[in-house]
Amino acid sequence: MKVSQIATVEKTSKRSFSFRVSTVKQLEAYQKAYEEEFGVTVEMKDLVEQMLLDFIRDDKTFQAKLKAGQRPPVKAGKPAGDTGGSQGENAADADDDARAAGASGTAAGAGADAGQAATQATY
């Protein structure tokens, strides 16, 4: 499998994401394949996190910027040094909270195109 085995446990910072139903179905199929391949039960949140970590690790351009000491670009309207919190929480939390507060839970409210289903899942 492309995703690495999940090895470490550390303190977490909660995020909430909305995925299209088709994406959730693919993630569930991948989760099942992972569990069969490695003979372990894995929570979806841990699997998705490992996928993201593997993606970031394999992104050569991003890794080169990290190695050179460059910070990833900051979204417009955010002060460059604003961390917005501690222990892994940052200004992205405010963005997530604002989107969640304004979302109606429908596909349109989740930012998807009209007629495209979305699902809210907390893993």
The pLDDT value given to residue 74: 56
Cα–Cα distance for residue pair 86/93, rounded to 1 Å:
11
Tell me which residues of the chain have a pLDDT lower than 70.
8, 72-123
The pLDDT value given to residue 103: 39
Residue position matching structure tokens 């990833």: 72
Cα–Cα distance for residue pair 37/73, rounded to 1 Å:
37
The pLDDT value given to residue 3: 82
Query: Where are any strands of DSSP class E within the chain?
Result: 17-20, 118-121
Q: Mind listing the pLDDT tens digit for each residue in 25-49? A: 999 999 999 999 999 999 999 999 9
The pLDDT value given to residue 4: 80
The pLDDT value given to residue 116: 46
The pLDDT value given to residue 65: 92
Within 10 angstroms of residue 30's Cβ, the number of other Cβ atoms is 17
